[in-house]
Amino acid sequence: MIISSIGQGMLWSMLGLGIFMTYRILGFPDMTTEGSFPLGGAVCVAAITMGVNPFLATLLGVLAGMCAGLVTGLLYTKGKIPVVLAGILVMSALNSVMLFIMKSPNLSLLNMPKIQDVFQPLNLPENYDTVFIGLLAVTIVIGLMSLFFNTEFGQAYIATGDNESMAKSLGIHTERMTNVGLMLSMA
Protein backbone atom coordinates (compact mmCIF):
# COMPACT_ATOMS: atom_id res chain seq x y z
CA MET A 1 0.00 0.00 0.00
CA ILE A 2 2.84 2.42 0.80
CA ILE A 3 4.62 1.71 -2.48
CA SER A 4 1.38 2.27 -4.41
CA SER A 5 0.86 5.60 -2.60
CA ILE A 6 4.40 6.71 -3.42
CA GLY A 7 3.92 5.88 -7.11
CA GLN A 8 0.58 7.63 -7.31
CA GLY A 9 1.98 10.62 -5.43
CA MET A 10 4.75 10.98 -7.97
CA LEU A 11 2.25 10.88 -10.80
CA TRP A 12 -0.02 13.41 -9.06
CA SER A 13 2.97 15.70 -8.55
CA MET A 14 2.55 16.61 -12.24
CA LEU A 15 -0.59 18.45 -11.16
CA GLY A 16 1.46 20.41 -8.62
CA LEU A 17 4.06 21.31 -11.23
CA GLY A 18 1.31 22.59 -13.54
CA ILE A 19 -0.22 24.71 -10.80
CA PHE A 20 3.28 25.99 -9.92
CA MET A 21 3.75 27.25 -13.47
CA THR A 22 0.52 29.23 -13.52
CA TYR A 23 0.05 30.37 -9.96
CA ARG A 24 3.59 30.89 -8.70
CA ILE A 25 5.44 31.95 -11.84
CA LEU A 26 2.72 33.56 -13.94
CA GLY A 27 0.64 34.86 -11.03
CA PHE A 28 -2.50 33.39 -12.64
CA PRO A 29 -4.83 31.74 -10.09
CA ASP A 30 -6.20 29.14 -12.48
CA MET A 31 -8.94 26.61 -11.84
CA THR A 32 -8.70 24.95 -15.26
CA THR A 33 -6.31 22.33 -13.89
CA GLU A 34 -9.18 20.63 -12.08
CA GLY A 35 -10.81 19.99 -15.44
CA SER A 36 -7.84 19.62 -17.78
CA PHE A 37 -6.24 16.68 -15.97
CA PRO A 38 -9.45 14.61 -15.97
CA LEU A 39 -9.94 15.65 -19.62
CA GLY A 40 -6.50 14.25 -20.44
CA GLY A 41 -7.45 11.05 -18.64
CA ALA A 42 -10.74 10.81 -20.50
CA VAL A 43 -9.04 11.27 -23.86
CA CYS A 44 -6.38 8.72 -22.93
CA VAL A 45 -8.93 6.12 -21.77
CA ALA A 46 -11.15 6.65 -24.82
CA ALA A 47 -8.16 6.24 -27.13
CA ILE A 48 -6.94 3.09 -25.36
CA THR A 49 -10.41 1.50 -25.59
CA MET A 50 -10.32 2.23 -29.34
CA GLY A 51 -7.05 0.30 -29.66
CA VAL A 52 -4.53 3.14 -29.59
CA ASN A 53 -1.11 2.46 -28.07
CA PRO A 54 -1.05 3.65 -24.40
CA PHE A 55 1.97 5.91 -25.02
CA LEU A 56 0.25 7.60 -27.96
CA ALA A 57 -3.00 7.79 -25.97
CA THR A 58 -1.12 9.54 -23.16
CA LEU A 59 0.30 12.02 -25.66
CA LEU A 60 -3.23 12.67 -26.96
CA GLY A 61 -4.35 13.30 -23.36
CA VAL A 62 -1.52 15.81 -22.91
CA LEU A 63 -2.56 17.61 -26.10
CA ALA A 64 -6.18 17.73 -24.90
CA GLY A 65 -5.04 19.32 -21.64
CA MET A 66 -3.02 21.86 -23.58
CA CYS A 67 -6.12 22.75 -25.60
CA ALA A 68 -8.03 23.35 -22.36
CA GLY A 69 -5.26 25.69 -21.20
CA LEU A 70 -5.39 27.53 -24.52
CA VAL A 71 -9.15 28.03 -24.22
CA THR A 72 -8.69 29.50 -20.73
CA GLY A 73 -5.92 31.76 -21.99
CA LEU A 74 -8.00 32.98 -24.91
CA LEU A 75 -10.99 33.69 -22.67
CA TYR A 76 -8.72 35.75 -20.43
CA THR A 77 -6.57 37.52 -23.02
CA LYS A 78 -8.98 37.98 -25.92
CA GLY A 79 -12.35 37.73 -24.18
CA LYS A 80 -11.22 39.94 -21.27
CA ILE A 81 -12.92 37.57 -18.82
CA PRO A 82 -11.46 37.76 -15.29
CA VAL A 83 -8.80 35.16 -14.48
CA VAL A 84 -10.72 33.06 -11.97
CA LEU A 85 -13.96 33.15 -13.95
CA ALA A 86 -12.22 32.03 -17.16
CA GLY A 87 -10.77 29.03 -15.32
CA ILE A 88 -14.08 28.13 -13.69
CA LEU A 89 -15.93 28.38 -17.02
CA VAL A 90 -13.50 26.07 -18.76
CA MET A 91 -13.33 23.66 -15.80
CA SER A 92 -17.13 23.40 -15.75
CA ALA A 93 -17.43 23.04 -19.52
CA LEU A 94 -14.86 20.26 -19.58
CA ASN A 95 -17.23 17.97 -17.65
CA SER A 96 -19.55 17.92 -20.66
CA VAL A 97 -16.62 17.56 -23.05
CA MET A 98 -15.37 14.51 -21.12
CA LEU A 99 -18.81 12.87 -21.30
CA PHE A 100 -18.92 13.57 -25.04
CA ILE A 101 -15.45 12.08 -25.59
CA MET A 102 -16.05 8.93 -23.54
CA LYS A 103 -19.70 8.55 -24.66
CA SER A 104 -20.46 7.17 -21.18
CA PRO A 105 -19.80 8.19 -17.58
CA ASN A 106 -16.95 5.70 -17.28
CA LEU A 107 -14.95 3.26 -19.35
CA SER A 108 -13.24 0.10 -18.20
CA LEU A 109 -9.57 -0.52 -18.87
CA LEU A 110 -9.66 -4.11 -17.66
CA ASN A 111 -7.66 -6.36 -19.98
CA MET A 112 -6.53 -3.34 -22.02
CA PRO A 113 -2.86 -2.54 -22.68
CA LYS A 114 -1.23 -0.09 -20.30
CA ILE A 115 2.12 1.65 -19.91
CA GLN A 116 3.06 -0.65 -17.02
CA ASP A 117 3.09 -3.60 -19.44
CA VAL A 118 6.47 -2.37 -20.71
CA PHE A 119 7.98 -3.25 -17.32
CA GLN A 120 6.56 -6.80 -17.08
CA PRO A 121 9.77 -8.46 -18.36
CA LEU A 122 11.66 -6.88 -15.42
CA ASN A 123 9.56 -8.89 -12.90
CA LEU A 124 9.33 -5.93 -10.52
CA PRO A 125 7.44 -6.36 -7.25
CA GLU A 126 3.84 -5.20 -7.22
CA ASN A 127 3.37 -1.43 -7.76
CA TYR A 128 7.08 -0.78 -8.29
CA ASP A 129 6.34 -0.20 -11.97
CA THR A 130 4.14 2.77 -11.00
CA VAL A 131 6.93 4.17 -8.81
CA PHE A 132 9.38 3.78 -11.69
CA ILE A 133 7.02 5.46 -14.16
CA GLY A 134 6.32 8.27 -11.69
CA LEU A 135 10.00 8.80 -11.01
CA LEU A 136 10.76 8.80 -14.72
CA ALA A 137 7.92 11.23 -15.48
CA VAL A 138 8.88 13.63 -12.67
CA THR A 139 12.53 13.59 -13.78
CA ILE A 140 11.62 14.27 -17.41
CA VAL A 141 9.15 17.05 -16.59
CA ILE A 142 11.47 18.81 -14.13
CA GLY A 143 14.33 18.51 -16.62
CA LEU A 144 12.22 19.98 -19.41
CA MET A 145 11.01 22.76 -17.12
CA SER A 146 14.60 23.60 -16.18
CA LEU A 147 15.61 23.70 -19.82
CA PHE A 148 12.58 25.83 -20.68
CA PHE A 149 13.18 28.37 -17.91
CA ASN A 150 16.80 28.78 -19.01
CA THR A 151 15.84 29.78 -22.56
CA GLU A 152 15.11 33.32 -23.71
CA PHE A 153 11.46 32.35 -24.20
CA GLY A 154 11.31 30.91 -20.68
CA GLN A 155 12.82 34.06 -19.23
CA ALA A 156 10.19 36.10 -21.09
CA TYR A 157 7.56 33.87 -19.48
CA ILE A 158 9.01 34.51 -16.03
CA ALA A 159 9.23 38.26 -16.72
CA THR A 160 5.55 38.28 -17.72
CA GLY A 161 4.63 36.81 -14.36
CA ASP A 162 6.96 39.08 -12.39
CA ASN A 163 5.85 42.38 -13.89
CA GLU A 164 3.53 42.37 -16.90
CA SER A 165 3.84 46.11 -17.53
CA MET A 166 7.62 45.96 -17.56
CA ALA A 167 7.54 42.87 -19.78
CA LYS A 168 5.35 44.74 -22.28
CA SER A 169 7.77 47.67 -22.27
CA LEU A 170 10.59 45.22 -23.07
CA GLY A 171 8.70 44.05 -26.15
CA ILE A 172 7.42 40.78 -24.73
CA HIS A 173 4.03 39.77 -26.08
CA THR A 174 2.47 39.10 -22.67
CA GLU A 175 -0.82 37.72 -24.00
CA ARG A 176 1.11 35.10 -25.97
CA MET A 177 3.19 34.27 -22.89
CA THR A 178 0.04 33.86 -20.82
CA ASN A 179 -1.51 31.53 -23.41
CA VAL A 180 1.67 29.47 -23.82
CA GLY A 181 2.11 29.28 -20.05
CA LEU A 182 -1.43 28.00 -19.58
CA MET A 183 -0.97 25.45 -22.34
CA LEU A 184 2.30 24.19 -20.86
CA SER A 185 0.94 24.01 -17.34
CA MET A 186 -2.09 22.01 -18.45
CA ALA A 187 0.12 19.50 -20.29
Asked if residue 116 belongs to a domain, the reply is no
Asked if residue 145 belongs to a domain, the reply is yes
List, in sequence order, the alpha helices (H) in 81-169.
83-102, 128-149, 152-162, 164-169
Asked if residue 119 belongs to a domain, the reply is no
C-alpha to C-alpha distance for 26 and 13, rounded to whole angstroms:
19
Total structural domains within the chain = 1
Asked if residue 54 belongs to a domain, the reply is yes
With pLDDT > 90 as the criterion, what percentage of the chain qualifies?
65
Asked if residue 147 belongs to a domain, the reply is yes
Asked if residue 64 belongs to a domain, the reply is yes
pLDDT at 11: 86
Which domain, by its residues, includes 60? Answer: 24-107+124-186
Could you tell me how many helices (H) and strands (E) the chain has, helices first?
A: 8, 0
Give the CA distances from residue 38 to residues 81, 156, 159, in Å, rounded to whole numbers and listed in that order.
23, 30, 30
C-alpha to C-alpha distance for 140 and 158, rounded to whole angstroms:
20
Confidence check: pLDDT of 120 > 90? no
Mean pLDDT of the 164-181 span: 92
Asked if residue 12 belongs to a domain, the reply is no
* Region at 127 (left for phi over 0; alpha for psi -120 to 50; beta for the rest): left
Q: What is the pLDDT of residues 53-96, one digit of tens each?
A: 999 999 999 999 999 999 999 999 999 999 899 999 999 999 99
pLDDT at 54: 95
Q: What is the largest CA-CA distance in the chain?
A: 57
Sign of CA dihedral 160, 163, 164, 167: negative
Q: Taking all residues of the chain, what is their mean pLDDT, rounded to a whole number? A: 92
Asked if residue 167 belongs to a domain, the reply is yes
* Residues of the chain by 3-state class (helix, strand, coil), percent to 5: 80, 0, 20
What amino acid is encoded at 1 in this protein?
M
Confidence check: pLDDT of 15 > 90? no
Long-range contacts of 117-121 (CB under 8 A, 24+ apart): 117/54
Mean pLDDT of the 40-45 span: 96
Q: How confident is the model at residue 144 (pLDDT cuts 50, 70, 90)?
A: very high
Q: How confident is the model at residue 3 (pLDDT cuts 50, 70, 90)?
A: confident
pLDDT at 153: 94
pLDDT at 81: 94
Q: How confident is the model at residue 138 (pLDDT cuts 50, 70, 90)?
A: very high
